[in-house]
Amino acid sequence: AQSVTQLGSHVSVSEGALVLLRCNYSSSVPPYLFWYVQYPNQGLQLLLKYTSAATLVKGINGFEAEFKKSETSFHLTKPSAHMSDAAEYFCAVSEAGSYQLTFGKGTKLSVIP
């Protein structure tokens, strides 16, 4: 069975500081991994997706994530936070052969001016 753990339900960073949102997964087979962002009162927007083509995945809005199989991690980073990055971020995992997209509990990112 697949599962996702997001460490930290709430992360605060200063504007211009590094953003690091943590995600660890559990999967019995090589997974597909996703990061989605949800702005207040909106749907989910895909930030990036890992599909085994490359361990470092670049996404939209300057975000990237690195797949580390040895650590079963897929942490999301951005070198310099903007105020507009304040949102809820969800890590999700899907296994080949499954429609199920299993989400983590989400991390709310606050950016302090």
Partner 1 sequence: DTEVTQTPKHLVMGMTNKKSLKCEQHMGHRAMYWYKQKAKKPPELMFVYSYEKLSINESVPSRFSPECPNSSLLNLHLHALQPEDSALYLCASSQEASPSGETQYFGPGTRLLVL
| Phi-psi domain of 61 (left: phi exceeds 0; alpha: psi -120 through 50; beta: other) | left
Residues whose CB falls within 8 Å of the CB of residue 53, separated by 6 or more in sequence, listed in order:
none
Which is closer to partner 1, CB of 17 or CB of 49?
A: 49
Q: Minimum CB separation from partner 1 for residue 13, in Å? A: 20
Binding mask 28-57 for partner 1 (x = CB under 8 A): ---xx-x-x----xxxxxx--x-x------
Q: Minimum CB separation from partner 1 for residue 82, in Å? A: 22
Distance separating alpha carbons of residues 104 and 113, to the nearest angstrom: 28
